[in-house]
Structure 1
């Protein structure tokens, strides 16, 4: 405890001394007219690039002390002395350009691009550096970069034939044929005897002449007279014939016996006239019903894709259940799996059940109904579609599957009842 008390007393003394110093500093007045030392003069520092070590030489140079005697110049092997003239940026740019040309001749296009880029950094006002780098980009099939460099070179030198020629090549490779033709044509105008430009211009496709647009013919709207084909004119004649009663024959007195007037038993009775049979079946206008018109079957092609099926299904549904039934018949059940996949909708599935219940049970055999139900079991998400069916369609499915007993083998029937959740 004695040690802790000593430490605590030291802390309190230090705190008291710090507070006293802060109070003294706060009481001091600021000195505004205090004299400060003069500002030093600026001096230029010349750095000799030739003495700058690089790479492994830098490590060895650090270990060696560089001692230079007074009055003697530093020893430089193969390099300019420090007191020699400095190179201008344009001269450095030309050196880099020459290095780039040497790399280009060796087909080292990436190294050539590096040297041309350094030349541009030293002297960006020279169009030749951009145009040379564009040619290296063309060799590497970097057509967009080549076009950009040619455009920069043309901004500096608008009548440079090489820049126009190389930009035409780049634009042709990019698929911009019209712009490429404009560049090559302009290059030929500047230098008509340039063979390279002519050869490149001959590679371009010949432009097709634009067709003259014919003046639009003004069309007038005419009223359309709708003719109802469900009531042909023949029905009027039939009804008129039906209304007119057959002529009555007045019996004439005869002296022959009554036995001869009756027809014989071997002679068949005369058939009724066709007009009479038609009038008995067709209702008249007074009954207030319209004559039923049987639709001729329409030939459909089975759909190949689900998009085509949805388009046709929607169109046929608007025309009625008869048209929808004819369209559904043309789709083979073996193609349900590849056609619908996982895109069969709930309303489409319910309409298929309605067709099976109302049309297939009357016109088709049990084997055909079984083929349709079995084909639908292979469709993806069929269990989800069955789960969300309402009571009406679930009972319709149950009735269809139960009606197949006796005409379908038990294994197929058990599979159908399992998929469609029907208890047999």
Structure 2
């Protein structure tokens, strides 16, 4: 019975239905908990679902069942990928080293180690400012005052109306106040968008930042189903140059990329996007930090839909987009 469930899990995985695949492998494990291959298969499905902690636990259990050399390599490798995504670089490196004990020149593991080194360097650079701030060095009082600088998305309430005088109570700004991640006073102007305007999509006004941060994009990607058409239209109005600036300052997330792919598909179906914009945007995303690792978790089915959509937009686009789609392994 466990073999039947395993086979059905393999079919679901091949169909990119990773949630069903993980469940089927889990049921097979219940019936045959000593089969380490089932844990390896489930771990791969969990990677596709970005379930990093559960993937680590699954790999640990599989490794405790005395797997053969080939399965042991896969379990250590997949555990290393999960630890990397959790920014647990020490355990990730240990896992990859254990994998190489089973096959010293495994190309997949060696590539993952390169990606681990790149992500670790990026992580350390992004945290260097916090480390500098945490250092306490005695300074002589030279009569100068340190004024904290805060990065916000909009002016504080007391400064929005120049005709009103703020009260003494309102002039005190608390350092614990956090800016709203998505809301902004800057309204997206549909007439300045990079693609044609579709009035049925813009039937409801929306306020989004002109140049969002990665955190804001992540928040937008979690919007409700009712808000998605407006979010898709907004994402497709951002120029590739804006995306390049966003991702040059931090690590790209697979959930954000998949949401951007959704926005492209939505705009193709709505007839409000051009093929050259799509090609330019895919090129920009493929040059983002850690793209080679993140592309492993992108929904290939969405990319195939975009590829088909390019042909409907312009027959010549199929040839001109071939090179960029190869970067996405399509």
Normalised-by-shorter TM-score class: 0.3 to 0.5
Q: Using CA pairs below 8 Å that are at least 6 residues apart, which structure has the higher relative contact order?
A: 2
**TM-score, normalization by structure 1:** 0.29
Structure with bigger gyration radius: 1
**TM-score, normalization by structure 2:** 0.37
